[in-house]
């Protein structure tokens, strides 16, 4: 298990380690089912085709889960997510790669939090962009 990052050790401009996720139908369908999102376009290729997509595509809850994991893997086990604010863009489909990137944009020593600009990209462009705020131990 990784050691927790401390608030005093974090600076604006610090980059998080890259995380690339190879997207499969199992990941996309599994994420939808695990989050109880039974919308057909997330698990049924025929429904996705009828909606104009080539295949099933990832739901926002799975995207939130990956972005949260990306930040907490960096922050460590004593960190707590305070806020996740993202905007969806291009869909994630099987056979693509979701590339997660992040950079510290603000450190609030009094509040004990760090803001991280996050981006999840795939071959079409930005899948999700936004900010994750995490509370770190002092």
Strands 113-122 and 125-135: antiparallel
Confidence band for 2, pLDDT divided at 50, 70 and 90 = low
> Closest Cα partner for 96 from 54, 41, 64?
54
Strand partners, 116: 104, 132
Identify the residue whose tokens are 């869909």. Answer: 91
| Tokens encoding 2 | 């990784």
| Amino acid 109: pLDDT | 95
DSSP annotation of 7 reads G
The arithmetic mean of pLDDT across residues 59-71, rounded, is 97
Return the domain boundaries, the chain: 7-135
Mark out the alpha helices in 53-100 (DSSP H runs).
Answer: 60-75
Q: What kind of fold does domain 7-135 have according to CATH?
A: Thiol Ester Dehydrase; Chain A (3.10.129)
Averaged pLDDT score across all residues of the chain: 96
| Amino acid 112: pLDDT | 96
pTM (2 decimals)?
Answer: 0.93
CA 30, CA 28: separation in Å to the nearest integer? 6
The arithmetic mean of pLDDT across residues 104-109, rounded, is 97
Question: For 27-39, how does the pLDDT look when each residue is reduced to its tens digit (9 = 90+)?
Answer: 999 999 999 999 9
Confidence band for 3, pLDDT divided at 50, 70 and 90 = confident
């Amino acid at each position: 298990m990784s050691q927790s990052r401390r608030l005093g050790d974090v600076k604006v401009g610090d980059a998080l380690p890259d995380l690339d996720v190879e997207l499969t139908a199992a990941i996309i369908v599994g994420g939808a089912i695990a989050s109880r999102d039974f919308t057909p376009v997330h698990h049924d290729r025929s429904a996705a085709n009828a909606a104009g997509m080539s295949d099933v595509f990832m739901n926002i809850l799975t995207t939130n889960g990956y972005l949260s994991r990306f930040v907490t893997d960096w922050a460590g086990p004593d960190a707590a997510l305070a806020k996740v604010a993202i905007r969806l863009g291009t869909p994630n489909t099987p056979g693509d790669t979701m590339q997660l990137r992040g950079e510290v944009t603000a450190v609030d020593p009094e509040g004990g939090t760090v803001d991280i600009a996050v981006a999840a990209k795939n071959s079409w462009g930005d899948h999700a962009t936004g900010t994750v705020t995490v509370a770190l131990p002092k």
